[in-house]
Each structure stands twice: as C-alpha cells, then as structure tokens.
Structure 1
Amino acid sequence: MSNDYAVGIDIGGTKIAIGIVDSEGEICSSDKIDMDKEATPDYMVENISANIKSLLRHKDVKVSDLRGIGIGAPGPLNTTRGMITSPQNLPGWWDYPIVERVQQHFHAETNIVLENDANAAAVAEKWKGAGTTNENFVYVTISTGIGGGLFSNSKLLQGVSGNAGEIGHIVIDPSLGTCPCGQKGCWEFIASGTAISRRGSELKGYKLPTKKVIELANQGDVQMKQIRDQSFEYIGMGCVTLINMLDPEKIIIGGGVSQIGDPLFLSVRDYVSKFALNPTGRTTEIVPAGLQQSSGLIGAASLIHGNY
C-alpha cells in the first residue's frame, strides 16, 4: 500500500474536488465541497484538510503512506513559493500561501506540489485521457473561467514563471465589456460558463445558471438561443486563434461547459473548418476531455505520481 496513493485537490471557482488517486490514475475515493467565496482561504483549507483525512480513513490509508498531495489552482501562481497570486475569479485568495497552509494540517515531510489547474488537467489528459497519442495539443477548460494547458513535443509549456497557458485572456471582442483583469473583451469574459450565465441573467432580469440558459435555448427561447449560438461562435474564435498560433494536432475541451456535448463540438468544428488560416489547421481535431470532469483531480494527483 505504501507510496501507491496521492491526494489530488482541484480548486475551482464554484467547487473544490478532492480525491485519492492511485499510481494507475484511478480515483479510489473522492468528494466535492462548494467553494465559499465569502469564507477565508484558511477556513476553506481547514475543510479541504478535514475532507482529505476523512477520505484516507475510509480507505484505511495513513498520511505517512501517501506519496504526496497535488494541488491544482487557478492562476496566476507562484509555484516556487507555493502561492496563489492573483486569480481573477477568486479575489479573496490573492497572495495566499496555500502549500504552507495545507502543510500545517499534515506531516512536515508530506510532499505538496502546486500547479495551475488547467496545466494539471492537461497532464492528466496526456497521461490517461484524450491526449495520450498526441505530442502537440491544447487542453482548454471552459467553466467558471477559461484556462489552458499547452503540450509541445510531449512537454508541458510553462513559460518563464510557470504561468503559460492563460488563454482565457486572449482578447476576442473589446466591444463586449471589461474583463475583471482590466482588458476589454477577453475570451473568458465573453464565452465562459460565467459569461453565459451573466448574459442570460441580464436579459431575463433574474439569476439563470449556465445550464438553464442552455436548456431554455434548446427549448426554443429566442434570446437564450442567440446567447448559446454566440457563445459557441466565440469558443470557435478562440480555438482558431490557438490553432493559428500553436499549430496543434488536437484541441481537447473540458470543464462544465463542455458537458453541453455535440451541439458545442459540432459548432466549434464547423467554425474551425472555415476560418483556421492553414488548410491543415481546418481539420484540427476538436474533442471532449477523455477524463470528462475528472481531468483536474487526476491531474493534481499526477503531479505527485510523476507524470509531469
């Protein structure tokens, strides 16, 4: 049993997924807790740590048997110092030393690694998901925000500070308003799940979750259909930009919005087939995440299991 397990923590804008993952990439036990943005990060870390200990007890695994704990969190990050620095969707977590705070709840020698959540998910897709046979691909997560993990020649592109892949802040249409990052018309601001919910809620005059906007669109609501179709087009625009820039074999799309399924993927493939600059780029594979909603959790654990 010793050293066969790692804990993965996938911190998102609305939920935190926590799980025990074995060395084969199988989730042995997992749970989710809601992200309470009104609570302090310390309070949330206490909940996360208690949850981990409960999962370990349930599996009869000792903390000392763990290979370590991997944390995937929204960037930008300072991974060298183990800090979440300035995520746009989690303003209460700015400059938060998460590795140090998690360490306080476990043994001092527990190995804890922090990585961008989309990078971690991309590593998981390379290890066990839709990118196993690809040397060059982009993983795109579309949920509360939009993030990315970039693989080139089978290596994760991290950049000089480890923050490469912040693709959600590619500017698509400045006329559509100012993103929390300060730029106008960022991809994340106009095409994420948050954006779909915001635009639907503004039109209806009451709060509509993303899933409800899509449901109404599918039922024939003209206003919601326009939002859905525009959002699909914006996602296509971002994918064309990535294809023109990086020339990948494949774009893998995960996150909550990817659960829309075929209508989204057919629309994006159609857009790419018309507007990617390079003729070969127009046939770039656009596929759903092979690990579905588990990419981030498995990816966080894979930081410990050495697939990174």
Structure 2
Amino acid sequence: MIAVLVSAVLPEPRHRTPGIVHQGARTGYTVGIDVGGTKTAYGLFDGDRTLVERFEEPSDPALSAEKFLDRIVRSCRNLTALAGLSTGDLRGIGIGMPSFVLYEEGRIVKTANLPQLCDFPARSYLMDQLGGGVRVLLDNDSHTGALAEHRHGAGRGFKHMLYCPVSTGISSGIVINNELFRGRYGWSGESGHMIVTPGQGIVCGCGNRGCLMSYCSGSMIVKHIQNKIAAGEVTMMAHLAGGVENISACTVAEAYDLGDDMAHWALEQMARYMAIWTYNLYQMLNINCFVFGGGLLSLGERLFPRMRDLFDEYNRNDMPVYFKEAELGNDFGLIGAAELLFQ
C-alpha cells in the first residue's frame, strides 16, 4: 500500500485591525472559544470569518460549573467590547470542550481534566446568562478541530477525513460526505479508548485497562516511563527533567536524540500503538485522509515516519492513504468552535 506523509507549512492566520468594526453586518460576528484543561482561548471573527481579536486565560479546574461558565460569559463580553460590539450583536458563540457533550441538548456529561464540568446543562445556562437570545453551540474539541481542518486546513478537498489530535490524549473527529459525524449522543470519535489488551496495562482516565490511549498518548507514555524507573530501569530522563515527576514528552524527545534506550523504547511503543489505532480506523471506516494535530507533532521525525511504516506493514493493499499535518496552528480550536455556527 501507499501511505503518503505530508508536512505542511503553517500559514499566518488572517487578522484585521483590532478594535474596529469593519464594513459588513454587525450581526455577522461570531465568537469561537477553545476550552482546554490548562487554558481557555477566545477569538472574535467578523462577517467574513476572519479572526479580528483573540486572547486567552488560564482554565481553573477548581471552579464549579456555574463559576467556570460565568467566567466565559464575562470574557465574551470583554472580547466583544474590544471591537465596539455587545454580545447581542453576535451571530452566535461556539465552544469546543474537552468533554463528553450531549450535542443536541448542549449538556456537558463529563470532563476528565476539568472534573467540576460534569452533568451540567451548559448551553441553556450560558444563554440565560448572556441574555438577548444569543445562540450558543457546544461540541467536543475533536469535532471542532475536524471542522476547522476540513473546511480551512489540511483536509480541504477530501470528501471524507479523520482529524486525529495527538497530545495529552488521542481521539478523532470524523467527517463523512463533507459532514461531521457525531453519533447518537454526540461523542463519536473517542477512538483512543478502544480496548486492545483487555485488563492489561495502565489504568486510563476512562477507567479501563488496555485502551489505545493508555499506551501512546503524551501523558500515559510518561506513566510507563515512571513505572520503569520505579522498577529500577536506567534512563537519563529523570536527570534531564530535574526529577522523575517532571518528565514530559519533551524530555522523551531530548533523551531520544541523546541515544537513551528507554526513550527509544517509548517512541517505538507509541509508534506501534498509533499505527494499530490508525489501521483499525482505516479498516472500519475506509477513510484515506488522516490529519494529525496536537502537541505530539513536535516529536516529528522521531515518531511519525515509524508510525507510517508500521501502518504500511499492517495494510496490504496499494490504495493511497494520506497522513497529513494540521495546517491551522494554534488557532484551529477557535476556528473550529466558530465554525459550529456555519453548519
């Protein structure tokens, strides 16, 4: 088979002069919000879907759902005020959440990294707090990433696409016939939690042992390394990081470049399970465009060519499969969240 690994040059995001309402309907403005476990980013888009204002603030996992969402309301008002608007002038607000989201209802079911955001009617609460009938849509952040890359990034021109964020966790956003596929309840694409070694390995945040994410995500590979160090195996990673507890994916990359055996083992394990992950998705969906985003892209040539080679070993036909890097840089979450209003 043919697997094509495409590296993209990240384009400069389009911006206009901040603080000025440009020609066009005031109601054409949209806010996109990208909620993460450590930070929340906000973007204001004009009627041409051009980013004109952005800022970010820390995400506080200690806040209750009400207080967390109240903060989002205040920040939306501050953001629109920068452009001389009010929230009542908006086309709507789209929010990408690192959560299980009942999309039709706008209810957050659970959020691993922000545990207080659990079983809460977020959309109705936000609409009540904003007032004025402002439209609000919430979705999982893998879905918003898929919307962004399919419409404006590396997935342009592909009728079917899988957006695969690889970072603290791994998952996928599924585009079929140019439409985002959400499944019955709204959390399709949690492919990192597919189980490959039932009852074996490290317990994942999903509560199971043996899911794919527990072997190859950025956070879980660190746990494997820490377990090996606790068992007496030798590596330079603890020294490089200034302590076992400080080891990160960046430490793994540094140690790999210095020839550390455990770092090489870690990258090989990640490549193998990511190849199993992508191969299984390809067999199930027969989608031939994979777009990878997220922090693990920084591992670059240490990880992705090996993953591609292993994918090729498993796959035994000669039809082309494209492995591409996301093109939208750090703004993809904002872009995808705003795109929820254009479905």
Q: Same fold (TM over 0.5)?
A: yes
Q: 3-state SS of the aligned residue for 1:3? A: helix
Distance in 2 between residues matched to 1:288 and 1:70, nearest whole Å: 24
Q: Does 1:109 align with 2:133?
A: yes
2:221 matched to 1:199? no
Give yes or no for contact 2:31–2:44 (8 Å, CA) kept in 1: yes
Of the three residues 121, 136, 151, the one matched with 2:145 is 121
> Does 1:285 find its partner at 2:322?
yes
Task: Give the 3 Å change call, closer, same or farther, for CA 254–110 of structure 1 in structure 2.
Answer: same
Residues 1:297 and 2:334 aligned together: yes
1:31-82 deviations in Å (ceiling 9; x for gaps)? 2222222332333223323322222222223222211100111342212221
Q: CA deviation at 1:113?
A: 0.6
Which aligned segments of 4 or more residues in structure 1 are displaced greater than 4 angstroms? Answer: none
The answer (yes or no) to whether the contact 1:254–1:293 under 8 Å persists in 2 is no
Please state if 1:258 is matched with 2:297.
Answer: yes
The answer to whether 1:158 aligns with 2:195 is: no
Q: For 2:337 and 2:127, how far apart are their aligned partners in 1?
A: 16
Q: Give 1:237 deviation, angstroms.
A: 1.6
2:162 aligns with: 138
Q: What pairs with 1:199-238 in structure 2 (closer than 5 Å)?
A: 199-202=224-227, 203=229, 204=238, 205-238=244-277
Give 5+ residue unaligned stretches, structure 1: none
Deviation at 1:240, TM superposition (A): 0.9
Q: After TM superposition, give the deviation of residue 132 of structure 1 in Å.
A: 1.1
What is the root-mean-square deviation in Å for CA atoms of aligned residues? 2.1
Bigger Cα displacement from structure 2, 164-173 vs 195-204: 195-204
Q: For residues 226-245 of structure 1, what are the alpha-carbon distances to aligned partners after superposition, in whole Å with 9 as ceiling and x for unaligned? A: 21232122212211111111
1:273 corresponds to: 312
Distance 2:38 2:169 in 1: 10
| Correspondence for 1:185 | 210
Q: Distance in 2 between matches of 1:114 and 1:219?
A: 44
Give 1:277 shift: 4.5
Structure 1 residue corresponding to 2:105, chosen from 81, 85, 88: 81
State the Cα distance separating 1:292 from its structure 2 match.
2.6
Alpha-carbon offset, residue 99 of structure 1: 1.5
Instruction: For residues 181-239 of structure 1, give each alpha carbon's deviation from its aligned partner in whole angstroms, at most 9, with x where no partner exists.
Output: 23221122222222133334443432223223322322333222321232122212211
- The one of 42, 45, 60 equivalent to 2:66 is 42
CA contact (8 A) 2:76 2:87 kept: no
Aligned residues: 304
**2:121 & 2:85 partners in 1: Cα distance?**
27
Aligned partners of 2:61 and 2:94: how far apart in 1? 22
SS where residue 132 of structure 1 aligns? coil
SS at match of 2:171: strand
Q: 1:130-185 deviations in whole A, cap 9, x for unaligned?
A: 11100011111122322211111222212222222111211233432222323221
Ranges in structure 2 where 5+ consecutive residues have no aligned partner: 1-24, 230-237, 239-243
Residue in 2 that maps onto 1:6: 30
